[in-house]
Amino acid sequence: MSVNKSIRVLDKDTINKIAAGEVVERPASIVKELVDNALDAGAANIRIELKDSGKKSISVRDDGVGMSRENLVLSPVKHATSKITSLSDLERISTMGFRGEALAAISSVSRFEIITKRKEDAGGTRLYLEDGKQTISDIGAPDGTTVTVFDLFYNTPARLKFLKGDATELSHIAAIVSDLILADPHISFTLINNGKTILSSPSSDLFNSVVDILGHDAARQLMPIPTYASKSDTKACDEIQKILADTGVQIEGFISKPSFTKTTPDHLFFIVNHRPVTSKELIKAVRLGYYTKIPNNRYPAAVLHLTIDPKEVDVNVHPRKIEVRFRDEKTLIRIITEVIETTLRLNELAFQVTSTDVKKVIDRPFSDFGQKGKIGNADESKKDAGTPSESKKDVDMQSKPKGDSDVIKSKSEKGIDFMQQKTGSAAVLAQEESSAYSDFKTGASSGSKSGYTAPPKDTEKRLKETERLLSASQKSPEKNARPSEISLLDDIRVVGQISNLYILVEKDSGLLIIDQHAAHERIFYDLLKKKENVSVQELISPAVVTLSPKEKVLMDEYIPYLEEAGFGISEFGDYSYAISFVPIVFGKMEDVSTIHEFIADLLSFGKIKDESGARETIAKRTACRAAIKAGACCNHAQIEELIRQLKCTENPYSCPHGRPTILVFSRKELEKMFERI
Ligand SMILES: Nc1ncnc2c1ncn2[C@@H]1O[C@H](COP(=O)(O)OP(=O)(O)OP(=O)(O)O)[C@@H](O)[C@H]1O
Ligand SMILES: [Mg+2]
């Protein structure tokens, strides 16, 4: 690489083209800027027409206020804006634009035309701009403005080369227009490419726009954040308002049930004062609200409108204005998390199985059920124990947005990746559950062959431990769970256990299937999180674990947290540790290999990210180890006890890893499945 020896000031044209790079990244950024201008002009109808996904031309037509001839001439001039006059205006921005840069940038890298007419003018005016040369003329035109951008990057071939294929560019445009529709649902939008309608959303309310963008199936999985305006239950609205009190923030919108998750955050939409924004922090806040209700590597769907005093938001932090900065980000994150937690708690959150889910399974070729074609053979139950539920994946795959738009389909199809991709915590889960399954095969399962005979002592012991902890925790009333609110597990009749894995429960309103291991894991996890004093037991002889150098580094980080959780650990040679105490929840420790496995499991999570993460991981691993096994036989009394304990948890519907504990087949859905109705 050679370096110029003398410094010189670049010419204006080059400066403009370089600056344009920040604003105009691709056709989608042009669509965004032109629609922003139409919105600022007070348009009610916006029509976007593309040729070749915007590479050949982009035309945005609005029915807004239009421009006078003088303003039209000024509009593509750099730093010319009608939206702010001084720096102080920046602190209370209520328009989408404010920099007076967009048209200047766009017109410097394209052939550019604006036709505009104000209501009060008899005729319209046309401005054409190419290579810095402006022509202006009178023209007949409807009220409003049409901006057309031809041959994007014709004069910057290097940038032209960076454009992706037509489908990719179109998908970016569709994503941007989707954001804008959700941000302003009362405005009518149409997006057309080469004469084909890609998206169309008439003026409507937020829910209907969500249906337009996410499709009916996904929309069915959403629940509103209780607000007085949405006529939700007043008590629920009061709870939400209590969280928002004194923050000056209002939150409305929809969030998905925990049973609906995606592999990417593509279904998370944040709109701050009508401006669609992306924010890692806000995504984190939402996921935190779902906490253990969804698996680690999954994202819920949500459309959240945040109304915040403009003084509290800095909109001038990103060249394309898609990111904003909040003055008090910490409070905002806290209230979003709490609003989501509360909305989830106020709704019944068990995984509802619908006839569509089941039909998808039934419609699969018979051979998919295993070569022997036998449902319930060992391989099948292993599959059940090892992977997240089939029905969940199916629910996921239904979430295609409506219509046959190739563009949007390609966005949602990312969800299918999950089926192939077994990395991260999904893999860990699979590992963990298959080890539970191997326990089942080797020992604990012996009861399964003889039906509901004598219960394994192990199950009894594990249930007793949670019972003991539960009664201790219920002595302090403020820590009590809210069993009264959980009606799903009331008025039930236990039918029995299948494959020593699942519990069948009947209710007047339908059938519940409970995963015994996941349910008990939830019970333990809640108790471990609440407990202050950990009871410990001394091992008859200390368990000695020898680690690799890498594991030793991790172990040293974990030791303080393990000690806090009830482990007695001391160094025992260079790479060995002696463990002499374990938390009593492990039950009577006859087999020290359990400790080895536990430590290995824990270290497989890698470096500790933060304190709460370390405690969290230990609580989850301990709950998993201490819970009754998938594959353990349970008698009637034990099942009833398990359900009673599950009712006392904060969230009985999913295990700490976010997988379902209860599947609900409502009577109506059962009737539909059997085609009675
Ligand atoms: N569709 C339109 N209808 C009416 N006026 C428009 C329209 N588009 C642009 N204008 C006028 O042209 C001006 C310049 O537009 P431009 O998009 O370049 O800057 P801006 O919107 O003011 O700020 P930003 O660069 O942040 O978008 C606007 O301030 C507005 O007065
Ligand atoms: Mg603008």
How many whole angstroms separate alpha carbon 630 and alpha carbon 383?
Answer: 12
Q: How far is the CA of 118 from the centre of ligand 1 (A)?
A: 15
How many whole angstroms separate alpha carbon 389 and alpha carbon 484?
Answer: 28
> Ligand 1, atom 28: nearest CA belongs to which residue?
81
pLDDT value, residue 244: 92
Examine the domain organization and report whether 622 and 634 are in the same domain. no
Examine the domain organization and report whether 88 and 174 are in the same domain. yes
One-letter amino acid at 656 equals P
- Kindly indicate the confidence band of residue 586, based on its pLDDT and cuts at 50, 70 and 90: low
- Please answer whether residues 675 and 358 qualify as being in contact, where contact means their C-beta atoms are separated by less than 8 angstroms: no
Residue 582 DSSP one-character state: E
- Please answer whether residues 251 and 225 qualify as being in contact, where contact means their C-beta atoms are separated by less than 8 angstroms: yes
**The domain spanning residue 429 has which CATH number?**
3.30.1540.20
> Ligand 1, atom 29: nearest CA belongs to which residue?
81
Task: Calculate mean pLDDT across residues 335-344.
Answer: 92
Q: How far is the CA of 84 from the centre of ligand 2 (A)?
A: 12
Domain boundary among 293, 327, 347: 347
pLDDT value, residue 450: 34
* Residue showing tokens 């009947």: 506
Average pLDDT over all residues of the chain? 77
> Ligand 1, atom 20: nearest CA belongs to which residue?
100
pLDDT value, residue 533: 60
- Kindly indicate the confidence band of residue 409, based on its pLDDT and cuts at 50, 70 and 90: very low
Residue 86: inside a domain, yes or no?
Answer: yes
- Kindly indicate the confidence band of residue 112, based on its pLDDT and cuts at 50, 70 and 90: very high
Q: How far is the CA of 97 from the centre of ligand 2 (A)?
A: 4
Residue 4: inside a domain, yes or no?
Answer: no
Examine the domain organization and report whether 121 and 189 are in the same domain. yes
Residue 5: inside a domain, yes or no?
Answer: no
pLDDT value, residue 133: 93
- Per-residue pLDDT tens over the stretch 133-154: 999 999 999 999 999 999 999 9
- Kindly indicate the confidence band of residue 128, based on its pLDDT and cuts at 50, 70 and 90: very high
- Per-residue pLDDT tens over the stretch 11-63: 877 777 777 667 788 999 999 999 999 999 999 999 999 999 999 999 999 99
**The domain spanning residue 569 has which CATH number?**
3.30.1370.100
- Per-residue pLDDT tens over the stretch 151-170: 999 998 888 888 899 999 99
Examine the domain organization and report whether 497 and 378 are in the same domain. yes
- Per-residue pLDDT tens over the stretch 61-80: 999 999 999 999 999 987 77
Q: How many domains does the chain have?
A: 4
Lowest mean pLDDT, pick from 60-74, 193-207, 353-367, 431-445: 431-445
**The domain spanning residue 216 has which CATH number?**
3.30.230.10
Higher local confidence (pLDDT), 504 or 407: 504
How many whole angstroms separate alpha carbon 326 and alpha carbon 650?
Answer: 32
Task: Calculate mean pLDDT across residues 168-180.
Answer: 93
Domain boundary among 607, 626, 645: 626
pLDDT value, residue 667: 85
> Ligand 1, atom 11: nearest CA belongs to which residue?
75
pLDDT value, residue 594: 67
Range of the domain at 610: 535-626
Mutation choice for ligand 1 from 16, 46, 81, 321, CB with most ligand atoms inside 8 A: 81
How many whole angstroms separate alpha carbon 62 and alpha carbon 38?
Answer: 6
106 Cα nearest atom in ligand 1? 18
Examine the domain organization and report whether 499 and 545 are in the same domain. no
Task: Calculate mean pLDDT across residues 273-291.
Answer: 90
Examine the domain organization and report whether 168 and 277 are in the same domain. no
Residue 396: inside a domain, yes or no?
Answer: yes
Cβ atoms within 10 Å, residue 363: 8
Query: What are the structure tokens assigned to 25, written together?
Result: 């990244």
- Kindly indicate the confidence band of residue 255, based on its pLDDT and cuts at 50, 70 and 90: very high
The CA-based angle 139-143-147, given to 5 degrees, is 70
81 Cα nearest atom in ligand 1? 29
- Kindly indicate the confidence band of residue 8, based on its pLDDT and cuts at 50, 70 and 90: confident
Ligand 1, pocket residues at CB < 6 Å: 33, 36-38, 41, 62, 64-67, 71, 75, 80-83, 97-104, 145
Q: How far is the CA of 63 from the centre of ligand 2 (A)?
A: 16
pLDDT value, residue 359: 53
Residue 312: inside a domain, yes or no?
Answer: yes
pLDDT for 589 beyond 90: no
- Please answer whether residues 462 and 346 qualify as being in contact, where contact means their C-beta atoms are separated by less than 8 angstroms: no
- Kindly indicate the confidence band of residue 352, based on its pLDDT and cuts at 50, 70 and 90: low
**The domain spanning residue 197 has which CATH number?**
3.30.565.10
Domain boundary among 326, 347, 368: 347
Q: How far is the CA of 97 from the centre of ligand 1 (A)?
A: 7
pLDDT for 219 beyond 60: yes
Q: How far is the CA of 34 from the centre of ligand 1 (A)?
A: 8
Examine the domain organization and report whether 84 and 175 are in the same domain. yes
How deeply is 465 buried, as exposed, middle or buried, from its count of CB atoms within 10 A (0-12, 13-18, 19+)?
buried
Examine the domain organization and report whether 432 and 484 are in the same domain. yes
Lowest mean pLDDT, pick from 436-440, 573-577, 611-615: 436-440
- Per-residue pLDDT tens over the stretch 301-339: 999 999 999 888 888 777 777 788 888 988 999 999 999
pLDDT value, residue 62: 97
- Cα-only R_g, the chain: 30
Task: Calculate mean pLDDT across residues 440-467.
Answer: 50
pLDDT value, residue 140: 94
Examine the domain organization and report whether 318 and 218 are in the same domain. yes
Residue 558: inside a domain, yes or no?
Answer: yes
- Please answer whether residues 653 and 663 qualify as being in contact, where contact means their C-beta atoms are separated by less than 8 angstroms: no
pLDDT value, residue 129: 96
Examine the domain organization and report whether 151 and 255 are in the same domain. no
Examine the domain organization and report whether 556 and 488 are in the same domain. no
- Please answer whether residues 135 and 128 qualify as being in contact, where contact means their C-beta atoms are separated by less than 8 angstroms: yes
Examine the domain organization and report whether 335 and 376 are in the same domain. no
Q: How far is the CA of 24 from the centre of ligand 2 (A)?
A: 12
The ligand whose atoms approach the alpha carbon of 98 most closely is 1
Residue 6: inside a domain, yes or no?
Answer: no
- Per-residue pLDDT tens over the stretch 598-649: 777 777 777 766 777 778 788 888 888 777 777 677 788 888 888 888 888 8
Residue 271: inside a domain, yes or no?
Answer: yes
Q: Could you give the percent of the chain with pLDDT greater than 70?
A: 76
Cβ atoms within 10 Å, residue 512: 24
pLDDT for 596 beyond 60: yes
Mutation choice for ligand 1 from 35, 63, 75, CB with most ligand atoms inside 8 A: 75
